[in-house]
């Protein structure tokens, strides 16, 4: 049981649109079935068979009997019923006209009923009801109970279509009672079938099956093969709904066998279509396609357009499920074309929906939307057409009622003039007419109420659809939001990576810096370090001499002897050399200490690299510090020519960052020089800016390098010798200071980089 | 008096030359040169026991100087050449491999240590 339910659920869950369509589709097919049942016309008639039409037309000419001609007209109406609404109605109306002329209540009622059924089959239920009402009235007058029961059945069908199942059931049950009374087993079983249909539509498949089975039993008893085939098909379809595909196939096989015996092409097609549905359920799409295509072939032969449309859409559906959306579209457009030919809006609507769905699957949202819009337009126009039909029918009704009234009034007058008794009867009759009129008007009111409530329901359904679409949009919005969040996360990650890269470039600058410091400090520290050692040893050398001298006692000592000893000591200890060296060493130590202090002092601005505060910077000092750090890189082979503008104002900036720029640009200039070369550093003031130009006579840049110099990771250096970020970061820093960097360079001629930085003096601005 | 070993010291910093000379004048006979070129000139006239050179000098680096020495005076026995200062590993390795460099010391040097190295080279 459980697995069954699951399967049914699955079927419903395969997409709301599909579910809706399959309902529409099933209703469409059942519209044929139910008519077949309750109708009395020739079953083979609905294949548009030219030879049948020809022979019927022949009959019209040759037949003398009017009733025969009426019958022929009705048959012709039947023939065209599903292929051509206008032709069908044309023949029914001819039959009705002829019947009216003959004043044959039986045929008038029959004609009215058939016209009603014609409208019914075209889904024009208001018109159908109008004619059924007329037919019912006449039948009630004549007391033709069998006909009354038939029409009650028709009413039931209309209400089934409108989804007013309680009312439909009411009509079906009263028809059932009548048939029972008349012992009309055929009608009775037809009623059972319709009741089965009502339960089917309400989703009560168990009850539906019960009624179908009862109906089938009677048909078998009666030996009505057509009825059997229909019911077997209905049961087969029902088992599809229950997900019991094997049972479905069993019944459908039985049904198709009978249809084949009867040679009923449309019937066979209908069962093939059912079987196609079964195989779709079984997910055996190739087989499903096989059956649908067989059905299509048959229907094309009979020209039953509505059936063709439904089958084409079924095929489209299979292609859609198997991912062949273009093929699906091919069939769906065929369906659309044919639905255009029939002018039948409901199937057009269906085709639009399927096409929109296929485009959506193809991710062609533009067309998907286009056809969805068309769907809405048709949807709206159906609404309008129905409304217009209702109004036109109401008017026609009013007109014909008036005419009828007049005719009856004339008849009454005639009677009145004939005899007193007849006059009383005529009065009676007039009263009857008034009563009938009253009935008709109340019926009209009823129809109006039903129509209004129907439209109200339609509107409500539209609102629900809108709500659903709103929900979908909300879902899309939500999706977009999550996408946004993902993008934001990626962006954050990128930013983090960028920061890391900037940091690593900073570290690279720091590496260059520490290498520079190491070497620059090396020598002066060596003066101090080695110098102190020498000083110490020199002092050791002169110490004995000084001690000797200081110990001289001029009173007692032999001065000559002492002096000789001192002279000897001096010689032994290299006194003169040491004595000479000491002041030199002290001065060297001082030079070393001074230079070390100078370097440390000038490095202070670099030690503030991360400072985020604006400070004033002497550009010349910044340049000199950078040069100092790079000294070991250039001192061998490069002459630096400084052309500093005197009195250049200090700039208010982030000193660490600007120094980083200087270091980078000077370092690049040094790297550009292979052998001997020169670097010119020029500064000047231009308006409120300081301009620094660094020009080298090195290798210059290619056009490619010039173009890409500020690109992150672009480097002409070997792997491991540059991050390729130096210039890109320099660019960023200058931009941050609202400055500019310009480059002029020719390969082989050298490069000039000109930086313009605003002085940015806070007091001035 | 025992004859002192002769040492040639090459450095582009005059202070360094002075300090070196002053530190070792008691132990060795010191010759100094302000550049590699001057060092080569001195080498033309005088034979030395040990040659010490700074690496980073304008014009001719220590390694380049050693290369010149190696090509011009192939008779100089091995283990007599010392490099000081701050140099890239590749350059030092090249000097070790090709130009008979025997020791590399980094600045600032320490008297006792450097003396030991020099003595070691001579013996």
Tell me: the pLDDT tens digits for B100-109?
A: 787 888 777 8
> Which segments in chain A show pLDDT lower than 50?
1-47, 764-765
Residues with Cβ < 8 Å from A403, sequence gap 6 or more? none
Quick check: A522 contacting B, CB < 8 Å?
yes
pLDDT at A641: 94
pLDDT at A721: 56
pLDDT at A693: 95
Count how many Cα atoms sit within 13 Å of the Cα of residue A205 in the half-sphere of its side chain. Answer: 14
Q: Indicate the residue of B56, B110, B111 with minimum beta-carbon distance to A519.
A: B56
How far apart (Å, rounded) are the C-alpha atoms in residues A114 and A110?
A: 6
How does strand B101-105 pair with strand B81-84? parallel
CA nearest A589 in B: which residue? B15
Residue B65 is assigned to a structural domain of this protein: yes
Q: Which residue has the tokens 């250096």?
A: A717
**Taking CB atoms and an 8 Å cutoff, what residues of chain A touch B13?**
523, 527
pLDDT at A32: 33
CA nearest A584 in B: which residue? B18
pLDDT at A41: 28
How distant, in Å, are the alpha carbons of A196, A299, A342, A349 from that of A332?
32, 16, 15, 11
CA nearest A517 in B: which residue? B86
**Taking CB atoms and an 8 Å cutoff, what residues of chain A touch B59?**
636
Quick check: B15 contacting A, CB < 8 Å?
yes
How far apart (Å, rounded) are the C-alpha atoms in residues A97 and A100?
A: 5
Quick check: A592 contacting B, CB < 8 Å?
yes
In the structure, how many helices (H) and strands (E) does chain B have?
A: 5, 5
Count of structural domains, chain B: 1
Instruction: Tell me the sheet residues that pair with B33.
Output: B10
pLDDT at B117: 87
C-alpha closest to that of A71 among A12, A112, A125, A111: A111
* B108 contacts A525? CB cut-off 8 A: yes
Residue B84 is assigned to a structural domain of this protein: yes
Give backbone dihedrals phi and psi of A344, rounded to 5 degrees, phi first.
-90, 110
The CB-based long-range contact list for A214-219 (8 Å cut-off, 24+ gap) reads A214/A189, A215/A189, A215/A190, A216/A189, A218/A185, A218/A186, A218/A188, A218/A189, A218/A192, A219/A189
What CATH code is carried by the domain that includes residue B113? 3.40.50.2300
Quick check: A458 contacting B, CB < 8 Å?
no
Query: What value does the mean pLDDT take over residues B11-23?
Result: 87
Q: Are A584 and B18 within 8 A, CB to CB? A: yes
* A533 contacts B111? CB cut-off 8 A: yes
Q: Which residue has the tokens 């110099």?
A: A709
Range of the domain at B91: 6-122
* A637 contacts B26? CB cut-off 8 A: no
**Residue among B108, B110, B118 with most chain A CBs within 10 A, to mutate:** B108
The pLDDT tens digits of the residues spanning A389-402 come to 555 555 555 555 66
**Taking CB atoms and an 8 Å cutoff, what residues of chain A touch B26?**
537, 541, 574
pLDDT at B25: 85
The pLDDT tens digits of the residues spanning A612-645 come to 678 888 999 889 988 888 887 788 789 999 999 9
pLDDT at A603: 66
Neighbouring C-beta atoms of residue A452, cutoff 10 Å? 11
The pLDDT tens digits of the residues spanning B32-82 come to 999 999 999 999 998 888 899 888 787 788 888 888 888 888 877 766 677
Q: What is the dihedral of CA A154, A159, A165, A167, to 10 degrees?
A: -80
Residue B1 is assigned to a structural domain of this protein: no
Residue B27 is assigned to a structural domain of this protein: yes
* A527 contacts B19? CB cut-off 8 A: yes
> How remote is the C-alpha of A677 from its chain's centroid?
64
Query: What value does the mean pLDDT take over residues B7-22?
Result: 88
Distance between A709 CA and the closest CA of chain B, angstroms: 28
* B22 contacts A538? CB cut-off 8 A: yes
pLDDT at A11: 26
Q: A618-631 burial string, b = 16+ CB within 10 Å, else e? A: ebbebbbbbbbbbb
Query: What value does the mean pLDDT take over residues B86-92?
Result: 70
Residue B100 is assigned to a structural domain of this protein: yes
pLDDT at A26: 41
């Amino acid at each position: 049981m459980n697995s069954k339910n699951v399967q049914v659920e699955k079927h419903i869950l395969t997409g709301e649109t599909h579910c809706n369509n399959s309902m529409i589709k099933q209703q469409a097919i059942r519209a044929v079935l139910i008519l077949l049942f309750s109708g009395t016309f020739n079953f083979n008639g609905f294949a548009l068979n030219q030879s049948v039409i020809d022979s019927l037309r022949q009959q019209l000419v040759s037949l003398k009997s009017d009733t025969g001609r009426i019958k022929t007209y009705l048959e012709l109406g039947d023939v065209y019923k599903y292929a051509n609404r206008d032709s069908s109605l044309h023949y029914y109306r001819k039959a009705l006209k002829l019947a009216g002329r003959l004043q044959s209540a039986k045929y008038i009622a029959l004609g009215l009923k058939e016209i009603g059924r014609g409208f019914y089959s075209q889904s024009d239920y208001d018109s159908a009801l109008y004619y059924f009402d007329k037919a019912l009235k006449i039948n009630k007058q004549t007391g033709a109970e069998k006909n009354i029961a038939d029409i009650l059945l028709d009413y039931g069908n209309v209400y089934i279509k409108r989804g007013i199942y309680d009312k439909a059931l009411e009509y079906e049950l009263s028809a059932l009672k009548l048939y029972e009374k008349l012992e009309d087993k055929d009608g009775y079983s037809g009623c059972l079938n319709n009741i089965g249909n009502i339960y089917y539509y309400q989703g009560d498949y168990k009850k539906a099956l019960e009624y179908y089975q009862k109906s089938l039993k009677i048909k078998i008893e009666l030996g009505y093969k057509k009825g059997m085939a229909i019911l077997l098909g209905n049961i087969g379809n029902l088992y599809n709904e229950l997900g019991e595909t094997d049972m479905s196939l069993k019944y459908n096989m039985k049904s198709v066998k009978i249809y084949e015996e009867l040679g009923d092409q449309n019937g066979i097609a209908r069962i093939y279509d059912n079987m196609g549905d079964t195989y779709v359920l079984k997910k055996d799409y190739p087989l499903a396609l096989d059956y649908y295509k067989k059905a299509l072939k048959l229907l094309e032969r009979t020209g039953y357009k509505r059936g063709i449309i439904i089958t084409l859409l079924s095929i489209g559906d299979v292609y859609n499920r198997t991912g062949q959306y273009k093929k699906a579209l091919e069939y769906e457009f065929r369906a659309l074309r044919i639905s255009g030919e029939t002018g039948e809006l409901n199937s057009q609507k269906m085709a639009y929906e399927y096409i929109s769905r296929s485009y959506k699957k193809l991710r062609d949202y533009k067309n998907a939307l286009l056809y969805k819009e068309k769907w809405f337009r048709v949807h709206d126009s159906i609404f309008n057409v129905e409304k217009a039909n209702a109004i036109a029918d109401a008017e026609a009704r009013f007109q014909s009622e008036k005419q009828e009234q007049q005719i009856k009034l004339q008849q009454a007058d005639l009677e009145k003039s004939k005899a007193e008794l007849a006059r009383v009867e005529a009065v009676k009759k007039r009263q009857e007419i008034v009563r009938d009129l009253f009935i008709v008007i109340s019926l009209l009111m009823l129809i109006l109420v039903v129509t209004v409530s129907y439209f109200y329901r339609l509107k409500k359904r539209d609102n629900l659809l809108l709500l659903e679409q709103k929900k979908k949009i909300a879902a899309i919005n939500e999706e977009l939001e999550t996408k946004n969040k993902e993008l934001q996360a990626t962006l954050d990650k990128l930013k983090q990576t960028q920061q890391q890269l900037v940091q690593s470039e900073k570290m690279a600058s720091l590496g260059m810096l520490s290498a520079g410091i190491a070497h620059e400090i090396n020598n002066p520290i060596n003066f101090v370090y080695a110098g102190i050692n020498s000083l110490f040893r020199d002092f050791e050398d002169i110490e004995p001499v000084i001690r000797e001298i200081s110990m001289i006692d001029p009173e007692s000592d032999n001065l000559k002897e002492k002096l000789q000893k001192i002279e000897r000591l001096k010689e032994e200890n290299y006194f003169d050399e040491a004595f000479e060296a000491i002041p030199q060493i002290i001065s060297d130590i001082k030079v070393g200490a001074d230079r070390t202090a100078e370097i440390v002092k000038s490095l202070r601005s670099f030690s503030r690299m991360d400072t985020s505060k604006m400070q004033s910077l002497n550009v010349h000092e910044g340049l000199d510090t950078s040069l100092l750090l790079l000294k070991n890189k250039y001192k061998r082979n490069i002459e630096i020519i400084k052309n500093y503008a005197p009195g250049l104002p200090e700039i208010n900036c982030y000193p660490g960052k600007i120094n980083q720029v200087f270091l980078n640009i000077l370092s690049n200039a040094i790297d550009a020089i292979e052998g001997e070369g020169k670097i010119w550093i020029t500064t000047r003031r231009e308006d409120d800016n300081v301009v620094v130009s660094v020009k080298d006579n090195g290798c210059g840049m290619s056009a490619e390098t010039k173009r890409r110099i500020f690109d992150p990771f672009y480097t002409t250096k070997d792997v491991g010798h540059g991050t390729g970020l130096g210039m890109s970061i320099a660019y960023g820093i200058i931009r941050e200071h609202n400055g500019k960097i310009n480059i002029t360079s020719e390969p082989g001629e050298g490069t000039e980089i000109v930086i313009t930085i605003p002085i940015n003096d806070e007091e001035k601005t | 008096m025992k004859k002192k070993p002769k040492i040639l010291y090459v450095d582009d910093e005059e202070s360094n030359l002075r300090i070196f000379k002053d530190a070792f004048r008691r132990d060795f006979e010191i010759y100094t040169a302000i550049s590699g070129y001057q060092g080569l000139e001195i080498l033309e006239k005088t034979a030395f026991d040990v040659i010490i050179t700074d690496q980073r000098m304008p014009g001719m680096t220590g390694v380049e100087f050693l290369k010149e020495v190696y090509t011009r005076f192939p008779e100089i026995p091995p283990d007599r050449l010392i490099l000081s200062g701050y140099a890239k590993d590749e350059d030092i390795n090249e000097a070790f491999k090709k130009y008979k460099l025997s020791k590399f010391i980094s600045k600032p040097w320490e008297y006792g240590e450097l003396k030991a190295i020099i003595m070691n080279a001579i013996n």
